[in-house]
Chains A and B, each alone.
Chain A
């Protein structure tokens, strides 16, 4: 099986596995306990925190480990929104981990302004500037889109927010998996990360917050993570996360080369968000006249794992809100496949995939109603 769905999840890299192993066996202690096993766990936890902080350009106290990207996004949106009711600005192309918290706030009575994107899925900066107003509780924008791979001009947007004193939350789950995301220069108030998208373990992520103390916790209990995220720390996971983050650094160019090789091999297909800066290993291909779900099944049978548009939207009837937001027709939005490349992907895998994709399209078009 050739795996080309790294934007959905990615296999654990050797670096992460080796780093985790001691914490799954002899270093099993509870990091809150003062005895030797506890101290060993604490050391591992804090070393990982320091490493993550170093790689992301922030201070260790600004790193709050969570159970993953979804929790980090929820914590940021609900934590920044706070009370009483107010207003927030959210991009129309957010992952559901931001979208659904925003919709929930809307149901609770918050006023949500949805910021639109252009046909490449990039935020309209002028419209965003109009939308964000002093006194807004937060703005939320994703660094890189999980469907199209399109990157947002985060620094520019953060500057607009800073002028108005509005905290900006950035979902960097996809971006941090293949780009050298830097918290300080990005200018956001909070960013969310997930380990398993970057060859780390599932079930762990982080919220990086300029000032964690200003956020109201979502989860209450023993007061771990400076009181913001209670629950016995997932030390093995956190250690694996830090190791994975280090391992993927510097491996963008290779993924970009492979992605470009694939797109060059299939000139007859339209690349979605081609006009935008995109994640290096990410390609969303429009295959007109074929339903993507069927193409995914056909490629699966041939030994290739890719995704139809977005993993979270497949299985229900609605085409991706991201693609509709950038003006794609519902028919086209249901005819896209997402190819996402990992650090172990090879040239021959890409070449084999391009050949198989072309065959599968031909087979399916023969039986398609056009």
Chain B
């Protein structure tokens, strides 16, 4: 039933309506019950001067929308970004059935705030930092560390596109549930939180590239691409808007200085090191980044999360490509029109061994799914996206002593490196030659299963000195 607060706020007509022609709006809807909430904010000089709602929703959602408006009005944007479902709930006391209705209003408010921040220009503050919040334990601990360091964090979560038909969309970071978890982690610490809805741009820039790569018979690495040219750019853009100089994330990597220039380096936890995934982040952005977890192990992070009583302390984490949502990536590619040409599996002399359903199902070094039985074990040696041909051969045929990386470049000019050619593989000693638009790696010992499309990351000791995309 309804508390007196719900009844009063739901019928409070003074908060209903439009906030004016220049107002920004955010909407949230529940596909399950058909309820929808729209919140409009009129903003001047970084401050919410008027907040109004229009709802087609139950009394709980309507009351929550009215309350969110009355709390937001008169506050600075970042202060308004401290308002969340928790605060609304404690005022309205919804039963378990109605918590979702209240959360709808918080989602609508934050959608409107994001729109306002996209066009705002807040005054620069030396201590203000943007912390990327995923809803998981690492970013939650990173946030605590910024507070411990006396900084003024602003949590930012990017809502990214996820396959709606995936088996496990809830666990993926960037899902609506993760956004809410990230927001509540910030609000529990009194920190403002901003949710940027980048689903469309992410789909085009990252998912589209992944699908096109698979269709062409490549083995794309969407995480390296996302960090290198999407995620950090988006964080930097919002940092500029909110007047924050520095960006903080919960990655296991470090920034070191080489001749006064910032360079990426491996995190101290060899199990968790994420420098490979971050290798394409541009130097201009690295100069603004702090990775507070780079100097510690994951076990320490978990202990710190428990000690701080963080809700995220025990949460499982996903190692998969986030937008695939826990399913099989081949089926994902097929569902979304990224299937490559079907064709034949042939041996190195061109003899046909079998037929296959599409080049996107294969990556060099793969043994399963060739449809060839008996005899010496066969591996995928090469995938030709144009002809649809998959060349299979014995393990020795996989050996590559020379790897071409295009595009690719050295950030620090050294000749001798250790080259990491897949995220979970050992780095191999190599000599680098620069060619036009890229690099050639002469490996001291052959690599097996080198996959065009994957990132090549080159280390000098712990420091990333070059990177690129494997061409052949």
Q: What is A's interface to B at a CB cutoff of 8 Å? A: 289, 291, 293-294, 297-298, 300-301, 315-317, 330-331, 334, 363, 366-370
Contact = CB atoms under 8 A, between A and B. Distances in A.
B13 A369 contact: no
B59 A294 contact: yes
B164 interface: no
B11 A368 contact: no
B59 A293 contact: yes
A367 B2 contact: no
Given A297-B7, A301-B11, A315-B1, A367 B53 contact: yes
Nearest to B33: A317
Contacts of A315: 1, 97
Given A297-B59, A315-B1, 6 more contacts: A297-B11, A298-B11, A330-B34, A334-B34, A367-B15, A367-B16
Contact of A294 (B32, B38, B58, B97): B58
B55 A369 contact: yes
Contacts of A317: 32-33, 97
B97 A301 contact: no
Contact of A363 (B13, B54, B55, B57): B13
Given A301-B11, A316-B97, A367 B58 contact: no
* Best-surrounded residue of B10, B33, B37, B56 (most CB of chain A within 10 A): B56
B97 A367 contact: no
Contacts of A298: 11
A316 B100 CA distance: 12
A297 B58 CA distance: 11
A317 B32 CA distance: 9
B62 A294 contact: yes
B7 A369 contact: no
B380 to A, nearest CB: 50
B97 A366 contact: no
Nearest to A330: B34
A294 B13 contact: no
A363 B11 CA distance: 9
A369 B97 contact: no
A331 B57 CA distance: 10
A316 B95 CA distance: 10
Contacts of A300: 7
Contact of A291 (B15, B38, B56): B56
Interface string B36-74: 111000000000000001111111001000000000000
Given A294-B62, A297-B2, A369-B37, A289 B56 contact: yes
5 contacts: A297-B2, A367-B15, A367-B55, A368-B56, A369-B55
A297 B37 CA distance: 19
B337 interface: no
B16 A366 contact: yes
A118 B327 CA distance: 43
Nearest to A290: B56
A300 B6 CA distance: 14
Nearest to B12: A367
B377 interface: no
Contacts of A297: 2, 7, 10-11, 59
A29 B34 CA distance: 55
Contacts of B38: 369
Contacts of B1: 315
B407 interface: no
Interface string B95-121: 001000000000000000000000000
A354 B7 CA distance: 22
A367 B54 contact: yes
Nearest to A292: B58
A366 B13 contact: yes
In which size bucket is the chain B interface?
A: 20 to 34
Given A294-B62, A297-B7, A317-B33, A370 B56 contact: yes
A334 B61 CA distance: 14
A293 B61 CA distance: 11
Contact of B13 (A289, A291, A293, A367): A367
B103 to A, nearest CB: 13
A329 to B, nearest CB: 9
Contacts of A367: 13, 15-17, 53-55
A289 B36 CA distance: 12
A317 B37 CA distance: 16
Given A331-B34, A334-B34, A368-B55, A301 B17 contact: no
A315 B35 CA distance: 14
B36 to A, nearest CB: 5
Contacts of A291: 35, 56-59, 62
Contacts of B57: 291, 369
Contacts of B35: 291
* Best-surrounded residue of A301, A317, A330, A370 (most CB of chain B within 10 A): A317
A137 to B, nearest CB: 35
* Best-surrounded residue of A331, A369, A370 (most CB of chain B within 10 A): A369
A292 to B, nearest CB: 9
Nearest to A329: B34
A335 to B, nearest CB: 9
B36 A369 contact: yes
Contacts of A293: 58-59
Contacts of B16: 366-368
A8 B110 CA distance: 40
A316 B97 CA distance: 7
Nearest to B95: A315
A366 B58 CA distance: 16
* Best-surrounded residue of A297, A300, A363 (most CB of chain B within 10 A): A297
Contact of A301 (B7, B53, B55): B7
A289 B16 CA distance: 15
B54 A369 contact: yes
A241 to B, nearest CB: 29
* Best-surrounded residue of A301, A334, A367 (most CB of chain B within 10 A): A367
Contacts of B10: 294, 297
Interface in B79-133: 97
Contacts of B32: 317
A352 B370 CA distance: 79
A350 to B, nearest CB: 23
A366 B11 CA distance: 12
Nearest to B58: A293
Contacts of A368: 16, 54-56
A185 B34 CA distance: 45
Interface string B1-39: 110000100110101110000000000000011111110
Contacts of B34: 330-331, 334
Top 4 nearest A-B pairs (CB, nearest first) are: A367-B16, A369-B54, A369-B56, A369-B38
Contacts of B36: 369
A298 B6 CA distance: 12
A222 to B, nearest CB: 38
Contacts of B62: 291, 294
A368 B56 CA distance: 6
A337 to B, nearest CB: 14
A315 B355 CA distance: 58
Interface string B285-299: 000000000000000
A317 B101 CA distance: 10
Contacts of B58: 291, 293-294
